[in-house]
């Protein structure tokens, strides 16, 4: 069904409003305490709701209604503006925006399209209500009352003459009343044809006060009595229906009615309970909402993780202590404990993870606004937005990623004319792809713009004295110059990306998170920046190794294989870096002993741990491998901040300390 | 003589839609985008028969407009009707006490809508 002109005009207006709403929401996110953007957001949603309902898009109206309720809670001071709130709102209205771009009114009005967002909004409302009830105690009327299904009995007696086919508003108000739920109406007439009174049985989720307000503006022309019969849908009871039909010729005596209802109430409740047991659709759905989202304060999660990390240490201690006791019973218990601890660790880690999607929304707007500012046409695509990441990491990475995207649009994507001349489509594309590999989250931000001019970068680096004029650099090395502090993009002055953080800061932030960043660029084709971040910041699985009396932990996720060779093979010419043949391949090996320890009391054999970092396989030589362990990494003090090949430390089962190595930085150390 | 209704809504598509609907029923219509504008128009044209206004609007809300109208003896007699998605009983009661004639909820059913409007114009 095509839209009529009114609907078309509504859609145009609504799209404008949605843009205003976006801006308001973003402002609100930046200043959660500010009232002006809050009021604007609330009002805009309200207007969208009104319009949508008016023009037959009840699905949009309903969604806007629930979201509006949330912001009303904020207005009343019963809820705080949170990332979650802003996100579900932005997502919901993004979907509305997409829907409104449909040409077909039936499609727009398709309730299914907004179902998920509606669920989310309702779930959020539920959790917020619980919160606000806690906060506000009994002083605020709980909104949940609204959702309570109840059956009411109304007797409406006009005090002025009116007929059923007359034009008195009351006649229509009765009809409106019937429309808020399941209703059965009996109209009793006087002998002159005027209405004596109406009896209306209504089961609805609308609150009594709201229903009564329907009659507010006709209260001088009628008497209304409203009785709540029972907090359930009495129309579900055959007895009740029979009862009210039997009395249709003689007006029901309300006392008699209430007595009857009380009589059947007990029966009916039992029946309702049975129906519940039989997986009644409605309650089940509500339950699952509650399961989907629970708001928990970050502090509690941090506490939980902290305790679990202590548990992991204790578990390791237990294994250590009992290893000397040769008892199958104890071994069985410790193994089971290890299993449970592992599951507990995995589950608890997931609690703190949130989908990258929250970032995507931010970036969408960034791309839209920036491209408009720069008169460029840019599409933003995202892939794998459901990939989960540590919330703290997301927060720390937001700024750097914004910077990268800014660069993409400002320096990467060409103007529409340039693109046409280069034989490309006018619209450039910036793409964000997120995915998991082992215990890493990968984020690739790419554009199909003009790419990085490597000669220019190199020339600038030489000019600034960062690189010797005769140096021969690989493509990768040249591109990584972009991250050099002395070659910040600030030199490419622009309104957009010359400010704020430079690429060196981006790199620093990623380093701080023990992540990696690589850059690839093809001139004329585009640039892609690959960021790899560890999934968890605190708990790692590792291999415990020993060199002299010092213990190290090598993260398990980078280890390919372990070989034991005789120490003599390694110890040639007193060199730290060696090429050793392992598994019929030559491997560049870094010896911890030679680098950090002495050559005294050398062991007979050495264990070579083959590690792949950034696509290159190298070996780490240690005296002895002690075993696999999961460990909680604790940061080292400031004194060790410069030793970035040590990612942190950990406490072992026997109470001693081990250093957690960062293999990639270890190799950088050996390369220099 | 045709009755004139002043339609106040900040959302242009709704305002136009309501105006057109009323025109088809034989009413003259005027449009205003907010309470201040409406009040200005009403002061210039006190012969308006009814003000049909939204509740939530920027600058001057429907409720503020209602109070302003009722406070000005020249135009206090013009009946005011709210057409709104707002449904708070407290707000409705407050508006009634301030002299509001009728409260029509969006989305309305055409029959209720016209019955309420006609009733408001006749009985003021």
Q: Which sequence spans correspond to the domains of chain B?
A: 4-123
In angstroms, the separation between the Cα of residue A92 and the nearest Cα of chain B is: 20
Find chain B residues with C-beta within 8 A of A213's C-beta: 87, 89, 92-93, 103
Q: Residue B81's closest CA among B47, B48, B59?
A: B48
Find chain B residues with C-beta within 8 A of A49's C-beta: 85
Report the number of distinct structural domains present in chain A: 5
d(CA A201, CA A258): 12
For chain A, give the percent of residues with pLDDT over 70.
85
CB atoms under 10 Å from CB of A596, counted, come to 13
Question: What residue has token string 């207005």?
Answer: A75
SS3 for A477-534 is HHHHHHHCHHHCHHHCCCCCCCCCCCHHHHHHHHHHCCCEEEEEEECCCEEEEEEEEE
Per the CB < 8 Å rule, is A175 touching B54? no
Q: Which residues have a Cβ under 8 Å from the Cβ of B91 and sit 6 or more positions away?
A: B55, B63
Cα three-residue angle A581-A601-A662, rounded to 5 degrees: 55
Taking residues A491-500, report their average pLDDT: 41
Nearest CA in chain A to B93: A216
Give the three-class secondary structure for A650.
strand
Please tell me if residue B33 touches chain A, with a CB cutoff of 8 Å: no
- Strands A624-632 and A539-547, bridge-based pairing: antiparallel
Please tell me if residue B47 touches chain A, with a CB cutoff of 8 Å: no
CB atoms under 10 Å from CB of A611, counted, come to 24
Taking residues A592-602, report their average pLDDT: 79
Does residue A501 sit in the same domain as residue A412? Answer: yes
d(CA A295, CA A135): 14
In angstroms, the separation between the Cα of residue A373 and the nearest Cα of chain B is: 28
In angstroms, the separation between the Cα of residue B47 and the nearest Cα of chain A is: 24
Main-chain dihedrals φ then ψ at residue A233, nearest 5 degrees: -85, 100
Q: Is residue A28 part of a domain?
A: yes
Does residue A56 sit in the same domain as residue A133? Answer: yes
> Is B96 within 8 Å of A217 (Cβ atoms)?
yes
Strand partners, A606: A565
Lowest-confidence pick of A97-101, A464-468, B87-91, B116-120: A464-468
Query: Can you read off the two tokens belonging to residue A166?
Result: 């007359």
> Which of A332, A351, A370 finishes a domain?
A351
pLDDT-derived band at A576, boundaries 50, 70, 90: low
Per the CB < 8 Å rule, is B13 touching A53? no
Q: Describe the strand order of the beta sheet including B50-53 as a list of residue ranges.
A: B28-32, B4-8, B50-53, B80-84, B102-105
Does residue A313 sit in the same domain as residue A391? Answer: no
d(CA A94, CA A19): 10
Please tell me if residue B50 touches chain A, with a CB cutoff of 8 Å: no
CATH number belonging to the domain at B4-123, selected among 1.10.3720.10, 3.20.20.70, 3.40.50.2300, 3.40.190.10: 3.40.50.2300
Domain CATH code at residue A503: 3.30.565.10
Does residue A411 sit in the same domain as residue A334? Answer: no
Lowest-confidence pick of A164-173, A267-276, A490-499: A490-499
What does the pLDDT look like over A129-161, one tens digit per residue?
776 555 544 443 444 444 578 888 888 999 888
Nearest CA in chain A to B83: A50
What does the pLDDT look like over A30-42, one tens digit per residue?
777 778 888 888 8
Taking residues B102-118, report their average pLDDT: 83
Determine the pLDDT at residue A143: 41
Per the CB < 8 Å rule, is B14 touching A51? yes
Does residue A127 sit in the same domain as residue A191? Answer: no
d(CA A572, CA A597): 16
Determine the pLDDT at residue A441: 87
In angstroms, the separation between the Cα of residue B34 and the nearest Cα of chain A is: 13
Taking residues B4-11, report their average pLDDT: 90
For chain A, give the percent of residues with pLDDT over 90.
4
Residue with the larger pLDDT of the pair A336 and A179 = A336
Does residue A95 sit in the same domain as residue A219? Answer: no
Does residue A161 sit in the same domain as residue A136? Answer: no
Taking residues A633-654, report their average pLDDT: 75
Domain housing A626? 539-671
Find chain A residues with C-beta within 8 A of B20's C-beta: 6
Main-chain dihedrals φ then ψ at residue A154, nearest 5 degrees: -115, 135
Taking residues B12-21, report their average pLDDT: 86
Please tell me if residue B17 touches chain A, with a CB cutoff of 8 Å: yes
Per the CB < 8 Å rule, is B107 touching A213? no
Query: Can you read off the two tokens belonging to residue A602?
Result: 């050398």
Taking residues A404-433, report their average pLDDT: 88
Nearest CA in chain B to A10: B13
In angstroms, the separation between the Cα of residue B123 and the nearest Cα of chain A is: 11
Q: Is residue A370 part of a domain?
A: yes
> Has residue A55 got a pLDDT over 90?
no
Find chain A residues with C-beta within 8 A of B62's C-beta: none
Mutate to test the interface with B, among A49, A54, A206 (most CBs of B within 10 A): A54
Query: Can you read off the two tokens belonging to residue A336?
Result: 């089971």
Does residue A342 sit in the same domain as residue A359? Answer: no
> Is A503 within 8 Å of A411 (Cβ atoms)?
no
Backbone CA torsion sign across A477, A478, A481, A483: negative
Q: Which of B11, B58, B115 sits opposite A169 (nearest CB)?
A: B115
What does the pLDDT look like over A239-283, one tens digit per residue?
777 777 776 666 666 677 777 777 776 665 554 444 444 433 333
Does residue A615 sit in the same domain as residue A657? Answer: yes
Does residue A341 sit in the same domain as residue A215? Answer: no
Find chain A residues with C-beta within 8 A of B111's C-beta: 172, 175
Taking residues A52-68, report their average pLDDT: 86
Mutate to test the interface with A, among B16, B107, B111, B121 (most CBs of A within 10 A): B107
Identify the H or E element spanning A253. Answer: none
> Which of A233, A258, A283 finishes a domain?
A258
Nearest CA in chain B to A217: B102
Q: Is A72 exposed, middle or buried (0-12, 13-18, 19+ CB in 10 A)?
A: middle
Determine the pLDDT at residue A400: 86
> Has residue A444 got a pLDDT over 60?
yes
Does residue A60 sit in the same domain as residue A83? Answer: yes
Calculated CA dihedral for residues A451, A457, A459, A461, nearest 10 degrees: 180
> Has residue B10 got a pLDDT over 80?
yes
The pLDDT mean for chain A works out to 79
Q: Is residue A291 part of a domain?
A: no
Q: Is residue A91 part of a domain?
A: yes
> Has residue A173 got a pLDDT over 80?
yes
- Strands B28-32 and B4-8, bridge-based pairing: parallel
> Is B40 within 8 Å of B84 (Cβ atoms)?
no
In angstroms, the separation between the Cα of residue B17 and the nearest Cα of chain A is: 6
Exposed e or buried b per residue across A619-630, where buried means at least 16 C-beta atoms within 10 angstroms of its C-beta? bbbbbeebeebb
> Has residue B92 got a pLDDT over 90?
no
pLDDT-derived band at A497, boundaries 50, 70, 90: very low
Determine the pLDDT at residue A614: 63
Give the start-end residues of each E strand in A385-502: 388-390, 428-437, 440-447
Determine the pLDDT at residue A21: 87
SS3 for A553-615 is EEEHHHEEEEEEEEHHHHCCCCCCEEEEEECCEEEEEEEHHHHHCCCCCCCCEEEEEEEEECC
Does residue A369 sit in the same domain as residue A439? Answer: yes
Q: Is residue A280 part of a domain?
A: no
Nearest CA in chain A to B20: A6
Residue with the larger pLDDT of the pair A349 and A573 = A349
Exposed e or buried b per residue across A450-480, where buried means at least 16 C-beta atoms within 10 angstroms of its C-beta? bbbebeebbebbeeeeebeeeeebeeeebbb
Give the three-class secondary structure for A656.
coil
In angstroms, the separation between the Cα of residue A173 and the nearest Cα of chain B is: 7
In angstroms, the separation between the Cα of residue A214 and the nearest Cα of chain B is: 8
> Which of A124, A140, A156 finishes a domain?
A140
Per the CB < 8 Å rule, is B16 touching A6? yes
pTM of the model: 0.42
Residue with the larger pLDDT of the pair A413 and A538 = A413
Strand partners, A382: A432
Determine the pLDDT at residue A573: 59
pLDDT-derived band at A364, boundaries 50, 70, 90: confident
């Amino acid at each position: 069904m095509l839209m009529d002109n009114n609907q078309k005009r509504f859609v145009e207006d609504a799209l404008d409003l949605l843009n205003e709403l976006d801006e308001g929401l973003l402002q609100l996110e930046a200043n959660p305490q500010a009232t002006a953007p809050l009021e604007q957001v609330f009002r805009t949603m309200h207007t969208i709701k009104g319009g949508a309902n008016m023009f037959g898009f009840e699905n949009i109206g309903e969604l806007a209604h629930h979201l509006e309720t949330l912001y009303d809670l904020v207005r009343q001071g019963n809820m705080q503006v949170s990332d979650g709130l802003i996100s579900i709102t932005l997502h919901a209205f993004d979907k509305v925006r997409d829907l409104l771009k449909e040409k077909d009114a039936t499609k727009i009005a398709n309730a299914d399209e907004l179902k998920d967002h509606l669920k989310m909004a309702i779930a959020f409302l539920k959790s917020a209500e619980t919160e606000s009830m806690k906060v506000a105690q009994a002083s605020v009327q709980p909104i949940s009352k609204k959702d309570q299904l109840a059956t009411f009995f109304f007797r409406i007696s006009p005090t002025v003459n009116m007929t059923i086919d007359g034009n008195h508003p009351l006649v229509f108000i009765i009809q409106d009343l019937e429309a808020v739920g399941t209703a059965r109406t009996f109209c009793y007439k006087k002998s002159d044809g005027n209405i004596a009174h109406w009896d209306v049985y209504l089961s609805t989720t609308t609150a009594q006060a709201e229903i009564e307000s329907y009659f507010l503006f006709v209260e001088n022309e009628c008497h209304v009595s409203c009785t709540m019969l029972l907090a359930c849908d009495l129309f579900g009871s055959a007895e009740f229906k029979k009862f009210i039909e039997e009395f249709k010729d003689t007006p029901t005596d309300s006392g008699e009615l209430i007595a009857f209802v009380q009589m059947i109430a007990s029966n009916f409740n039992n029946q309702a309970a049975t129906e519940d047991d039989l997986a009644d659709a409605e309650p089940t759905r509500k339950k699952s909402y509650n399961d989907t989202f629970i708001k928990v304060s970050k502090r509690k999660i941090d506490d939980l993780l902290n305790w679990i990390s202590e548990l992991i240490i204790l578990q390791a201690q237990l294994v250590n202590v009992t290893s000397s006791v040769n008892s199958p019973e104890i071994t069985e218990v410790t193994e089971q404990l290890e299993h449970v601890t592992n599951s507990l660790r995995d589950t608890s880690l997931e609690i703190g993870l949130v989908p990258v999607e929250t970032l995507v929304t931010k970036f969408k707007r960034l791309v839209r606004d920036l491209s408009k500012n720069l008169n460029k046409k840019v599409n933003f695509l995202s892939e794998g937005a459901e990939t989960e990441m540590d919330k703290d990491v997301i927060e720390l990475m937001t700024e750097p990623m914004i910077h990268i995207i800014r660069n993409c649009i400002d320096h990467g994507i060409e103007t529409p004319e340039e693109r046409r001349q280069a034989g490309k489509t006018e619209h450039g594309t910036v793409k964000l792809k997120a995915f998991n590999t082992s215990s890493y989250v990968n984020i690739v931000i790419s554009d199909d713009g003009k790419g990085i001019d490597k000669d220019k970068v190199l020339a600038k680096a030489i000019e600034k004295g960062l690189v010797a004029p005769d140096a021969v650099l690989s493509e990768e090395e040249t591109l990584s110059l972009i991250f050099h502090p002395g070659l910040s993009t600030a030199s490419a002055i622009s309104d957009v990306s010359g400010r704020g953080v430079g690429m060196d800061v981006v790199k620093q932030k990623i380093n701080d998170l023990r992540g990696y960043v690589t850059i690839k660029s093809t001139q004329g084709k585009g640039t892609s920046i690959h960021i790899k971040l560890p999934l968890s910041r605190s708990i790692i699985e590792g291999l415990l190794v020993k060199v002299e009396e010092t213990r190290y932990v090598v993260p398990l996720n980078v280890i390919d294989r372990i070989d034991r060779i005789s120490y003599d093979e390694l110890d040639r010419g007193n060199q730290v870096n060696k090429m050793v043949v392992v598994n019929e391949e030559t491997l560049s090996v870094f010896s911890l002993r030679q680098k950090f320890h002495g050559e005294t009391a050398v062991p007979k054999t050495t264990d070579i741990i083959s590690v792949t970092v950034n696509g290159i396989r190298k070996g780490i030589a240690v005296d002895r491998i002690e075993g696999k362990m999961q460990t909680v990494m604790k940061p080292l003090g400031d004194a060790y901040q410069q030793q970035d090949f040590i990612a942190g430390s950990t406490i072992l089962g026997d109470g001693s300390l081990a250093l957690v190595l960062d293999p990639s930085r270890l190799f950088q150390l050996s390369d220099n | 003589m045709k009755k004139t209704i002043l339609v106040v809504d900040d959302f242009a598509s709704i305002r136009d839609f309501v105006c057109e609907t009323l025109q088809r029923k034989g009413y003259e219509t005027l449009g205003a985008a907010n309470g201040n504008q409406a009040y200005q128009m009403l002061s210039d044209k006190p012969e308006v028969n009814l003000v049909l206004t939204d509740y939530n609007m920027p600058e001057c809300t429907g409720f503020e407009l209602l109070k302003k109208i009722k406070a000005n003896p020249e135009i206090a007699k013009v009946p005011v009707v709210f057409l709104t998605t707002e449904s708070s009983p407290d707000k409705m009661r407050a508006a009634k006490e301030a002299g509001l004639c009728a409260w029509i909820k969006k989305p309305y059913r055409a029959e209720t809508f016209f019955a309420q409007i006609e009733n408001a114009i006749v009985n003021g």
